[in-house]
Structure 1
Amino acid sequence: MSTYRVWMTKRVPLKVARLPSALKHHRSIATTSRSPAAIVSNDFRETKSPPPSEFIYGAYQKVGGPNAKDVFRIRIPTFASLEAERAHRKLHHAAALRWLGYQGYNNEGAGGHVTVRDPIMTDHFWINPHGKSFSHMKPEDLVLVSKDGEVKEGGNMHSINPAGYIIHSAVHEARPDVVAAVHCHSVPSKAFSAIGCKLEPINQDACRFYNDHGIYSGFGGIAFNPDEGQHIADALGNTKGLILQNHGHLTVAKTVDGAAFLFGAMDRCIQAQLMADAACAGRGTKTIKVGHEEAEYTRKVYNDEMIYIMFQSAFEDVVKASNGELPAHVQGEIPRP
């Protein structure tokens, strides 16, 4: 079997400065050869149990009273085989990339990458080919990569973004529950990442990320060094999203649909916070925050199935815009009742 290997795949030891015990659970200090001590966000893996790998369902509440008739509901499907699940992940991966392209996230040269864990070889993932337009992606264009950075036969034998491999391989290794990860550069997130703060619960949508995202404040240059990927994975912890200081943002989920939806949602929440903060600065006021209990409740509504559902209108748009290039379903996809 022929393979290609991306460069800089050798892992180097991660040097972590020891902290006084009183600070151990609040933050860790990571160092790289490129940057001085970099403060990394809360280490959620020390303070919280790992996220479950199983889907969390239950996005809908029944309405209409006890005599209401059953209606069709969008659900995360089941599959007749792992091969069918692979085909479904690749179809939705390609569709997510097209949607990101339509939203303008592919307009910064060859930057930006989306990865999806393979359901059969779970230490491998699929990634978009380097330098190819998101807006025309098809399942057969996706590249299969091993945990060591080798491009494998069975996928598109095309080069990949080395920084994409470095970042995403570390995230997938650290988070067995994560099926998909999305990272692109947007103007709002690049501006927000220079401020050094998290999203605040200033609206319902921002509550999706309340106490469920981190900040990586140790930018060490383009992620060609494996320890940079490890630092990013550490800062992500067990959360669904990460602000990469002086860089952009990243989101993860158990479906590529969910990860893509969260990426766009986080970007729009970032833009809304920048606008609200600017307006308040001009008026000499402060933004009004959602209360803790209400923000927690709202965040929990957006479970794995809900964020999958939230992307399906975008998936439908992409399929219809493809003029037959992308199907709506794959063989072996079984609707969940």
Structure 2
Amino acid sequence: MAPSAQLEDAVQQQPPGKTPLELISQGTCLPGIPKHPTFHAHRQWLLEQMALAFRVFSRKGYTDGMAGHISVRDPEHPHTFWTNPLAVHFGLLKASDMILVDYQGKPIGGNMSKPANAAGFLIHSAVHKARPDVVAACHTHSPHGMAWSAFGRPLEMLTQDAAYLYGEAQAVYKDFGGVVLTEEEGDRIGAALGPKGKSMILQNHGLLTVGTTVEEACFLMTLMERACQCQLLAEAAAANGLPKVLIPEESAKFTFDNSSDPETLYWEGHPDLQYEAYKSQGEYRN
């Protein structure tokens, strides 16, 4: 049976009216994204998840000097966002370390005893302004992400994981102009992500991911870094004569449509954060 016919059969066999999270849950369905009774409770939860996401990045080796940042839109004041202090190791960050800044770059809350990353502010403020739907944004200089960024090409649909970034969910920013120190460069990066982008390769620079939760943005970063690693390995094998086989277009779209909604991606990111919470013994909350 041809791949397209197999896909058609799979779609026909899919139970009607089920969400992607219901489809992946055999038996009792996982619950939805947590809700919070007050802005204060929601804010504290976001800051704690943010600290855990940094610890995930630390464990996976995404630290690179002072580079790399996560931003989280404040739930009560959506024209402000939280970000990490400059020159503090990802693996040490706690909820109380984060800095609240407005769109003009002025620190207005949180830990104002330390500076934020100026380049990080310019990138993240542009993303949050361009995309009101984005709650969390991550940028890292992960090794495989930086290596693949040198090609200025999107990731190919080589694996099931790569299909999470199918179509408009993935963008490439090719106009590298050095360290981001101007508002214009930040705005160009924000615009390049597009209205539906979940991820972006910054040519000669690194990776950027966004999400409606910290878990989603964090998971997409780890997924994208692995996809870059797989792409580089596949390119090396192909250079020695082994042909690559790409996922068919309809199969990649089917995978994306049934795995890349906010609820499913929240739960995809949850285990890594859960592990960091266990390892830190609650330290990330202080």
Tell me the TM-score normalized by structure 1. Answer: 0.75
- Paired residue for 1:169? 125
User: Does the C-alpha gap of structure 1 residues 156 and 314 become closer, same or farther in structure 2, counting only changes over 3 Å?
Assistant: farther
Give the counterpart of 2:277 among 300, 308, 319. 319
Q: 2:96–2:110: 8 Å Cα contact kept in structure 1?
A: no
How far residue 311 of structure 1 moved from its aligned partner, in angstroms, is 1.1
**Aligned equivalents of 2:51, 2:24: Cα separation in 1:** 33
**Is residue 291 from structure 1 mapped to residue 261 from structure 2 by the alignment?**
no
Structure 1: state its 5+ residue gaps: 1-56, 328-337
Pair 1:260 & 2:218 matched: yes
Are residue 118 (structure 1) and residue 74 (structure 2) matched? Answer: yes
TM-aligned CA distance change 1:79 to 1:189, over 3 Å: same
Worse-superposed segment, 187-196 or 129-138: 187-196
Q: Name the amino acid aligned to 1:223.
A: V
* C-alpha distance in 2 between matches for 1:80 and 1:58: 26
Residue by residue over 1:25-51, the C-alpha shift from the partner in whole angstroms, topping out at 9 and shown as x without a partner, is: xxxxxxxxxxxxxxxxxxxxxxxxxxx
CA contact 2:138–2:218 (8 Å) conserved in 1: yes
**Paired residues of 2:99 and 2:107 also in contact (CA < 8 A):** yes
Distance 1:304 1:138, change over 3 A: same
Task: Tell me the SS of whatever aligns to 1:202.
Answer: coil
Does the 8 Å CA contact 2:122/2:181 hold for their aligned counterparts?
A: yes
Written as runs of structure 1 = structure 2, the 5 A alignment for 1:122-201 is 122-201=78-157
Deviation, structure 1 residue 87: 1.0
Question: Within 2, Cα distance between the matches of 1:58 and 1:202?
Answer: 22
**Cα deviation digits, residues 33-84 of structure 1 (max 9, x gap):** xxxxxxxxxxxxxxxxxxxxxxxx64122877xxx6xx36243111111211
1:240 corresponds to: 198
Aligned length, in residue pairs: 264
Compute the displacement of 1:221 (Å). 0.6
Matched AA of 2:56? W
SS in 1 for 2:21: coil
Structure 1 residue 82 corresponds to structure 2 residue 45:
no
Between structure 1 and structure 2, the one with the greater Rg is: 1
Q: State the 1:185 CA deviation.
A: 0.2
Cα distance per residue 1:237-288 (max 9 Å; x no partner):
1210111011111000001110010001001001101101110111x24210
Structure-2 separation of matches of 1:242 and 1:324: 32
2: CA distance between counterparts of 1:197 and 1:117? 29
Contact 1:151 1:158 in 2 (8 A): no
Task: Give the superposition deviation at 1:175.
Answer: 0.2
Q: Give me the whole-angstrom Cα distance separating, in 2, the residues matched to 1:154 and 1:165.
A: 15
Which residue matches 1:59? 21
Tell me by how many angstroms 1:158 deviates.
1.7
Q: Secondary structure at the match of 2:82?
A: strand
The alignment status of 1:216 with 2:173, answered yes or no, reads yes
**Larger helix percent:** 2
SS at match of 2:22: coil
CA distance in 2, matches of 1:225, 1:326: 33
Give ranges in structure 2 of 5+ residues lacking alignment.
Answer: 1-18
Q: Which amino acid aligns with 1:186?
A: S
TM-score by length of 2: 0.88
Matched residue SS, 2:226: helix
8 Å contact 1:214–1:235 — kept in the other structure?
Answer: yes
Extract structure 1 runs of 4+ deviating beyond 4 A: none
The alpha-carbon deviation at position 136 of structure 1 amounts to 1.3
Q: Is the 8 A contact 1:74 1:309 kept in 2?
A: no
Aligned equivalents of 2:198, 2:267: Cα separation in 1: 17
Q: Which amino acid aligns with 1:61?
A: L
Deviation (angstroms), 1:210? 1.2
Distance of 1:256 and 1:205 partners within structure 2: 19
Identical amino acids, percent of aligned pairs: 38
CA distance in 1, matches of 2:96, 2:25: 42
